[in-house]
Amino acid sequence: MGMWGKLAGLAIAASATMAALPSPATAQTTLRMVAHSDLKILDPIWTTAFISRNHGYLVYDVLFSKDDKLQVRPQMVEKYETSPDKLVWTFTLREGLEWHDGQPVTAEDCVASIRRWGARDALGQLLLKATGELVAVDARTFRLTLKEPFGLVLDALGKPSSNVPFMMPKRIAETSPNEQIKEFIGSGPFVFKRDEWKPGEKVVYVKNTKYKPRNEPPSMLAGGKVAKVDRIEWLAISDPMTAVNALLSGEIDLIEVPIPDHFPTLRKDRNIAMHAWNPLGSQIVMRMNHLHPPFNNVKARQAAMYALGMEDFLRAQVGDPEIYSVCNAPLVCGSPYEKTYGDLLIKPNLEKARALLKESGYDGTPILMMHQTDLASSNMLPPVGKQQLERAGFKVDIHAMDWQTVVARRSRKEPPTQGGWNIFFTTTTTVDADNPVGNSFTRGDCDKAWFGWPCDPDLEKIRAAMVSEQDPAKQKALAMQVSDRVMDQAHYFVLGQYKAFGAYRKDRLEGWLQAPAPVLWNISKK
């Protein structure tokens, strides 16, 4: 049976089930949606993939969250205190927090969760490096004692996107950060139904009836997380037009990120609304593997940088100039740390690119470029990248695969001929990229760095200095140095920014909040 037939079958089955219920008061409300990717990796700490992050926000809760003013606000935390010198932080959890298995959330759970997250995340690693002691004081209280100044404690614990410091039970959080967890118990507003999970078909979550939301109104990722539907189903529909047809016909309620080519069709239907759920926007990034030729040579990376022109990427992937913006600032255009670099990455300079490639000693070995064919946010980028790099003299082999395969393969450090890679494309929310301390791409700490593993001690010294610096003017000067170093060493390439739009049936749904991640609590069905 094809996916369309499966969707029809699901609708018929749902109708039959609802008809059999004794009264509307007991009828389940189900939100059916198409997420931006199929979910295969369930550990949102082990991977930075947004689909796993989105899964995490449903299942797990966080100590702090950011509101729509980008202020860090308590979530699981009831109150916190700091010493006058800001070196000792004491956190007290809200009363009555429970894991999905009925066990109470404890301070020891949170300590273990922070340690595992901190072993993987760029900002988390810096926080743990500055930490002298992190201990539970009693069942609801834990204390963080710093051995050196760290001005971003709340920013770290309230990090809104990948990697998010999700809290897990101690027995799960003690899993090695280099291994994926095997148990998926959280304390968030929804419960993951592992028994109904069918990779390639659907993911199911049900309302956590014991969840105690905060009393404040919801604001971006902060405030009260009120689950207003009983059940959420993510349906895996890889063909974008099939997903659009399913939305138009009423088989589903929401598409997280329809491709821009389909916006006109969706806007024609009076029952469909286009929603800019991520108005802060996202960056498009090209990432190279620094471990293996040719990009272990800075000249080859610089050659690639001079070969690229980002508007071709933006037109191919985003399409609508009202949605995208041409920007080569590593730390985001519109942020306090914006710095741009003339025509680099905007207008190709093939003469310069070819000269640098020759200097690098590139021997013509084909570059392995991974192509995530099923990911609507970046699946049109690799063909453009291949064309532009080949004009400069590179040879490029595109390997087509789904996004979850890219996510798994990008972690491999073997040479491309042995299961590794040379290039892949990804996107990141601007709130993850506008500060060099939390920006995963700006790390230069070798084996501990983000996939691609740049090894740049000078870059790390600048980032470390920014962590302990308290003067905003000096922080900005250090951020500019990070930006300069990234561009000088061609560590990664920013290929522009764009806003994320979703589509939903406004005749059925209301309450979709704006945030850097799709927020599914607060959505209700009419």
Q: What is the pLDDT of residue 320?
A: 83
DSSP 456: -
Q: What is the pLDDT of residue 468?
A: 83
Q: What is the pLDDT of residue 498?
A: 92
Q: How far apart are CA 109 and CA 170, in angstroms?
A: 4
Q: What is the pLDDT of residue 23?
A: 34
Q: How far apart are CA 86 and CA 149, in angstroms?
A: 7
- Domains in the chain: ranges and CATH: 3-15+28-233 (3.40.190.10), 280-499 (3.10.105.10)
- Cβ-in-10-Å burial (0-12, 13-18, 19+) of 87 comes to middle
Chunked in runs of 10, what are the mean pLDDT values of the chain (526 residues)?
A: 38 36 58 95 94 97 95 97 96 98 98 97 92 98 95 93 96 97 98 96 97 96 98 95 97 94 94 93 96 98 98 93 93 93 97 98 98 90 98 98 93 97 94 88 94 97 88 93 98 95 97 96 96
Q: What is the pLDDT of residue 5?
A: 41
Amino acid (one-letter) located at 248? L
Q: Are 256 and 35 in contact (CB under 8 A)?
A: yes
Q: Are 186 and 456 in contact (CB under 8 A)?
A: no
Q: What is the pLDDT of residue 375?
A: 86
Q: pTM here?
A: 0.81
- Reported as half-sphere exposure (CB side, CA atoms, 13 A), residue 105 has a value of 30
CA distances from 325 to 309, 339, 348, 492 (A): 13, 15, 17, 18
Q: Which residues contact 424 (CB under 8 A, 6 or more apart)?
A: 286, 287, 369, 370, 372, 406, 410, 451
Q: What is the pLDDT of residue 343?
A: 97
Q: Are 306 and 356 in contact (CB under 8 A)?
A: yes
Q: What is the pLDDT of residue 16?
A: 37
Amino acid (one-letter) located at 461? K
Q: What is the pLDDT of residue 35?
A: 96
Report the C-alpha dihedral over residues 35, 40, 42, 44, rounded to 10 degrees. Answer: -70
